[in-house]
């Protein structure tokens, strides 16, 4: 079971890393403007094409004796990985906090730049928490996290009418584990193109 889980995580990391390398292609300009549809459609097509080759490559590597060590070294948090939502990157939070960390301010600046180039794109900021705490508390904390990210993007010049926020509390974990590594990945804001 653990090998299957590690394979799935490694496959997700490989796919996301490939998407990160192609974000400049996703935001290519046509006649001086970036078509909004290219943001998610191109990324999704590239992602679908890469999933097949990544899965084959991962299956070939599964027999290597050092796979476990290389998996641990290559697993990245989603803040380091560009997602398929048009080059927007998730940000993460400290335990029981909703303030934006310094390294995540840079990520939000990059997200704002992508949104500035694609003025017709609207997003949903999804606030998430780890599994600790009550459902009510986590819903409120997720909402505060999403609201903080929205405020920061608005301060960078993004029209607030383009941004919707929602809290999922601990209902949509990125990592189903029950340890600090999993919890750190799950304390996040996810940026979804609406």
Q: Return the pLDDT at 59.
A: 41
Q: What pLDDT shows up at residue 69?
A: 39
pLDDT of res. 14:
52
Question: In a structure prediction context, what are the per-residue pLDDT tens digits for the chain, which is 194 residues long?
Answer: 445 544 555 555 554 544 444 443 333 333 333 334 433 343 444 444 444 334 444 444 444 334 333 333 333 333 333 444 458 999 999 999 999 999 999 999 999 999 999 999 999 999 999 999 999 999 999 999 999 999 999 999 999 999 999 999 999 999 999 999 999 999 999 999 98
Virtual CA dihedral for 22, 112, 94, 69, nearest 10 degrees?
Answer: 10
> Does residue 86 contact residue 118 with C-beta atoms inside 8 Å?
yes
Residue 110 phi/psi, 5-degree rounding, is -65, -40
Domains in the chain (CATH in brackets) are 2-193 (3.30.1330.60)
**Paired sense of beta strands 123-128 and 163-169, if any:** parallel
């Amino acid at each position: 079971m653990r090998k299957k889980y590690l394979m799935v995580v490694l496959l997700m990391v490989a796919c996301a890393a490939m998407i990160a390398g192609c974000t400049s292609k996703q935001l290519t300009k046509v006649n001086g403007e970036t078509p909004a549809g290219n943001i998610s459609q191109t990324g999704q097509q590239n992602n679908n094409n890469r999933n097949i080759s990544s899965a084959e490559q991962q299956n070939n590597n599964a027999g290597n004796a050092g796979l476990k060590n290389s998996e641990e070294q290559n697993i990245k948090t989603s803040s380091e990985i560009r997602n398929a939502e048009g080059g927007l990157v998730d940000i993460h939070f400290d335990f029981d906090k909703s303030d934006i960390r310094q390294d995540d301010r840079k990520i939000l600046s990059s997200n704002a730049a992508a949104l500035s180039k694609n003025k017709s794109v609207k997003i949903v900021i999804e606030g998430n928490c780890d599994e600790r705490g009550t459902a009510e508390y986590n819903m409120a904390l997720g909402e505060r996290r999403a609201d903080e990210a929205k405020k920061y993007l608005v301060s960078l010049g993004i029209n607030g009418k383009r941004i919707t926020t929602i809290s999922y509390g601990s209902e949509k974990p990125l990592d189903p584990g029950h340890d600090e590594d999993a919890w750190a990945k799950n304390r996040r804001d996810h940026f979804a193109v609406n």
